[in-house]
Structure 1
Amino acid sequence: MSIGKAYLTAVRGRFNQLKDLGDRAVAQLDGQDIHYVPGPESNSIAVIVRHLSGNMISRWTDFLTTDGEKPDRNRDGEFETVSVTKAELQEISEAGWKLLFGALDSLEEEDLLKKILIRGEPHTVIEAMERHLSHVAFHIGQIVYIAKMLKGENWEMLSIPKGQSEAYRTKTPGQ
């Protein structure tokens, strides 16, 4: 496998992991939890998910041919508090992820060094993907943190539980 194809596979894998992490965190919450706001300058999970989806739709629509900040995007509106159900929030989320994965799947290794624009600033495709990957990771971390705080002792771990690192490290593959 070429380096370019390996890179595209790795990036898709990282986005898949982040999506799964966010999905599993939100799945533990009820409809009221997704609207909890930790503080006056904070956002609810519903707002964060709406922002992530809006950002994905803007960035990944016509990824190679148009500026990643679309003129019809209402970024400020993404941060307004809107009442949505968990099912509606899932649909909003999936719309963004679908565009992201579709665009990733359409890329070829020769696209990686092409120049694209985000807010008028040139980026290679690699730079744009890395920029978006870090943006998504930042917000998924917020979602997980808020969800974990809300669930408290009822939180179901999404990774290796505290105190079990050694057991995980020495675990035999396949067990």
Structure 2
Amino acid sequence: MGNTGNYLDSTRQLLRDYKVMGEKAMSQIPEQKLFYRFNEHSNSVAMLVNHLNGNMLSRWTSFLDSNGEKPWRERDAEFEEAITTPQEIWAKWEEGWTCLFAALDPLGEDDLMRIVRIGDKDHSVVDAISRQLAHYASHIGQIVYLAKIFAEKPWQTLSIPKGKSPRYK
């Protein structure tokens, strides 16, 4: 397999790792805090999950064959308080990731230089995937940050624990 095959394998694994990171972070947040906003300009974890869901469904539904900005998507509504229960958060989370992997997993090396459209801009498949990877990582980072603030029990680290770095050199 060439370098581009490694790109797909690497990207798939990174996305799975980010999914797990988000899940481990959210599982440490007390249920009532999943909906908390610091102010009118900030997002709750529920809003971030709703936005990730909307983005994933729009981008990855018919990924190779249709515009990644679907006409049915209502991006602004993703940042309203539409989700009201933890069960809805987890359902939206799974729905988005399921859609993503259903589109990403079958891709092969020959697909990587194909052109897909997102909104009014053409992207190679590589660029479209990289764009989404960066976008999802940023929002999952926000979720992790909020989880660290909201955790009521001792934080269960998602990576190398503080003071343990020498073991990983």
Q: Which runs of 5+ in 1 are unaligned?
A: 170-175
Q: Tell me whether 159-168 or 68-77 shows the greater mean CA deviation.
A: 159-168
The separation in 1 between residues aligned to 2:61 and 2:68, in whole angstroms, is 8
The separation in 1 between residues aligned to 2:105 and 2:78, in whole angstroms, is 26
**Structure 1 pair 53–156 and aligned structure 2 pair: CA distance change class (3 A):** same
The residue identity in structure 1 corresponding to 2:144 is V
1:150 Cα offset (Å): 0.9
> Quick check: 1:30–1:86 contact (8 Å CA) kept in 2?
no
RMSD: 1.2
- TM-score with structure 1 setting the length: 0.92
1:39 Cα offset (Å): 2.9
Residues 105-149 of structure 1, C-alpha deviations (whole Å, 9 max, x = no match)? 121111100111001200000000000000000000000000101
- Match of 1:131? 131
1:1-175 residue pairs with structure 2 within 5 A? 1-151=1-151, 154-169=154-169
The separation in 1 between residues aligned to 2:155 and 2:87, in whole angstroms, is 21
User: Percent identity between the aligned chains?
Assistant: 45
1:78 Cα offset (Å): 0.4
The residue identity in structure 2 corresponding to 1:168 is Y
The separation in 1 between residues aligned to 2:40 and 2:160, in whole angstroms, is 32
SS in 1 for 2:68: coil
Residues 70-100 of structure 1, C-alpha deviations (whole Å, 9 max, x = no match)? 0010111100013422222111111110010
Q: Which runs of 4+ in 1 moved over 3 A?
A: none
The separation in 1 between residues aligned to 2:159 and 2:55, in whole angstroms, is 27
Aligned length: 169
> Quick check: 1:21–1:158 contact (8 Å CA) kept in 2?
yes
Q: Tell me whether 33-42 or 121-130 shows the greater mean CA deviation.
A: 33-42
